[in-house]
């Protein structure tokens, strides 16, 4: 069996023949096949790696995009946090101011000792309830001045009567006022009398019946603008000052009675929310404790201010 094969090479020098053993032929064939295999593997590897690189690049871009978005969100979040912190500081300051203002109100209405250990909301509720009660009493019980207060010419108590020239008990106060000074109701009430009252010596007189046994008299008036049986609210214009009846000059005679007993009007003229508790000490002829208990749940929807706006304007101009 022939184990060789001949390779003929033709060049410029002529023909040459080379005998090659078949084993070498197989080796060369296997080597070529091996190179082809390696080439295919190399190409496949290159294609695979190229795809991996593309995927990595794509993932990198996605990560960079996500990082950029996260960075932007983080920046926005930081801004929101700073804004929220600023608002928190502002609200904290507002709460501090509210607490300080509430403390002033508590001091005015006598609650500062009883609310020391209470929360802010509890303090607000207590102050609201207590102040509503006090406002209600100041609406129904005479308080404040019926006219622009320019002084007292004759006080409550014994005196020499200016026209009768004899010592007698003065049941009210005489308030200095020129002719036709507006006179206002000092509490809600019903007009019991409105007109000339001959027997009292007060001339033109207005008598108001208020809640809880209180009554106010306004004497020596020049003109009365309300009628008997009319209901008036605190601050309602009821008359104008004058010099009618037994009077030595223009002024307002102002009386307050509790169950027909005269009480010193000056305590009530000076009474307001700011000195709310003072009257309980000054005027001891009134059972304040039972009155306060009985009216604890009463509220006024639209309370009237102590002085009508016209009086406040007049007072500000006179200062």
Q: What is the pLDDT of residues 156-172, one digit of tens each?
A: 988 777 666 778 888 99
| 66 and 151 fall within a common domain | no
Which pLDDT band, with edges at 50, 70 and 90, does 309 fall under? very low
Which residue, of 49, 71, 93, is where some domain finishes? Answer: 71
| 144 and 256 fall within a common domain | yes
- At residue 226, the 3 state secondary structure works out as coil
155-159, 166-170, 200-204, 214-218, range with greatest mean pLDDT: 214-218
Q: What is the pLDDT of residues 133-164, one digit of tens each?
A: 888 889 999 999 999 999 999 999 887 776 66
| 195 and 51 fall within a common domain | no
Does residue 79 form part of some domain? no
Does residue 60 form part of some domain? yes
What's the domain count of the chain?
Answer: 2
Does residue 103 form part of some domain? no
pLDDT (0 to 100) of residue 15: 73
Which residue, of 56, 71, 86, is where some domain finishes? Answer: 71
Specify the range with the lowest mean pLDDT, choosing from 169-178, 181-190, 309-318.
309-318
| 67 and 145 fall within a common domain | no
pLDDT (0 to 100) of residue 163: 67
| 53 and 144 fall within a common domain | no
How many other C-beta atoms are found inside a 10 Å radius of the C-beta of residue 74? Answer: 10
Judge residue 270's burial from the number of C-beta atoms within 10 Å of its C-beta, 0-12 exposed, 13-18 middle, 19 or more buried. Answer: middle
Does residue 93 form part of some domain? no
pLDDT (0 to 100) of residue 294: 83
Query: What whole-number distance in Å separates Cα of residue 82 and Cα of residue 3?
Result: 93
Which residue, of 39, 71, 103, is where some domain finishes? Answer: 71
pLDDT (0 to 100) of residue 188: 96
Which pLDDT band, with edges at 50, 70 and 90, does 106 fall under? low
| 190 and 42 fall within a common domain | no
96-100, 169-173, 212-216, range with greatest mean pLDDT: 212-216
Does residue 230 form part of some domain? yes
Does residue 21 form part of some domain? yes
- Domain of residue 152: give its range: 139-307
Q: What is the pLDDT of residues 45-98, one digit of tens each?
A: 888 888 888 888 889 889 889 888 888 988 888 989 888 888 888 888 887 776
156 close to 175: Cβ distance less than 8 angstroms = no
pLDDT higher than 70, residue 127: no
Specify the range with the lowest mean pLDDT, choosing from 19-28, 142-151, 295-304.
19-28
| 151 and 298 fall within a common domain | yes
239 close to 233: Cβ distance less than 8 angstroms = no
Give the residue with greater pLDDT, 186 vs 116.
Answer: 186
Q: What is the pLDDT of residues 220-245, one digit of tens each?
A: 999 999 999 999 999 999 999 999 99
280: closest CA among 146, 110, 158, 81? 110
pLDDT (0 to 100) of residue 319: 33
Query: What whole-number distance in Å separates Cα of residue 245 and Cα of residue 250?
Result: 11
Contacts of residue 66, defined as CB under 8 A and 6 or more positions apart, other chains included, come to none
Specify the range with the lowest mean pLDDT, choosing from 42-46, 165-169, 267-271.
165-169
pLDDT (0 to 100) of residue 194: 97
| 66 and 175 fall within a common domain | no
CATH classification at residue 260: 2.70.70.10
Specify the range with the lowest mean pLDDT, choosing from 6-20, 34-48, 142-156, 198-212.
6-20
| 53 and 189 fall within a common domain | no
| 22 and 149 fall within a common domain | no
| 51 and 158 fall within a common domain | no
Does residue 97 form part of some domain? no
- Work out whether strand 251-258 and strand 237-241 pair parallel, antiparallel, or are unpaired: unpaired
Does residue 145 form part of some domain? yes
Phi-psi group of 156: left, alpha or beta (phi > 0 → left; psi -120 to 50 → alpha; rest → beta): beta
Average pLDDT, the chain: 83
């Amino acid at each position: 069996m022939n184990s060789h094969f001949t390779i003929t090479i033709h060049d410029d020098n002529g023909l040459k023949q080379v005998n090659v053993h078949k084993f070498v032929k197989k080796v060369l064939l296997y080597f070529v096949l091996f190179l082809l295999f390696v080439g295919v593997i190399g190409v496949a590897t290159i294609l695979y790696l190229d795809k991996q690189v593309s995927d990595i690049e794509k993932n990198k871009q996605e990560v960079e995009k996500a990082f950029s978005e996260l960075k932007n969100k983080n920046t926005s979040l930081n801004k929101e946090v700073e804004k929220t912190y600023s608002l928190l500081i502002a609200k904290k300051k507002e709460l501090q101011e509210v607490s300080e203002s509430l403390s002033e109100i508590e001091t005015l209405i006598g609650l500062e000792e009883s609310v020391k250990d209470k929360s802010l909301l509890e303090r607000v509720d207590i102050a609201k309830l207590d102040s509503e009660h006090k406002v209600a009493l100041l609406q129904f019980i005479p308080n404040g001045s019926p006219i622009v207060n320019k002084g007292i010419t004759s006080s409550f108590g014994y005196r020499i009567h200016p026209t009768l020239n004899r010592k007698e008990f003065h049941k009210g106060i005489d308030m200095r006022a020129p002719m036709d000074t507006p006179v206002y109701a000092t509490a809600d009430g019903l007009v019991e009398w409105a007109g000339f009252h001959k027997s009292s010596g007060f001339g033109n007189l207005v008598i108001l019946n208020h809640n809880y046994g209180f009554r106010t008299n306004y004497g020596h008036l020049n003109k009365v603008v309300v009628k008997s049986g009319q209901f008036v609210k605190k601050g309602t214009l009821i008359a104008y000052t004058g010099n009618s009846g037994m009077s030595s000059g223009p002024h307002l005679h102002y009386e307050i009675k509790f169950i027909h007993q005269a009480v010193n009007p000056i305590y009530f003229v000076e009474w307001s929310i700011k000195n709310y508790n003072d009257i309980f000490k000054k005027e001891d002829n009134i059972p304040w404790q039972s009155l306060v208990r009985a009216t604890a749940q009463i509220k006024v929807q639209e309370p009237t201010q102590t002085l009508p706006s016209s009086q406040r304007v007049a007072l500000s101009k006179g200062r």
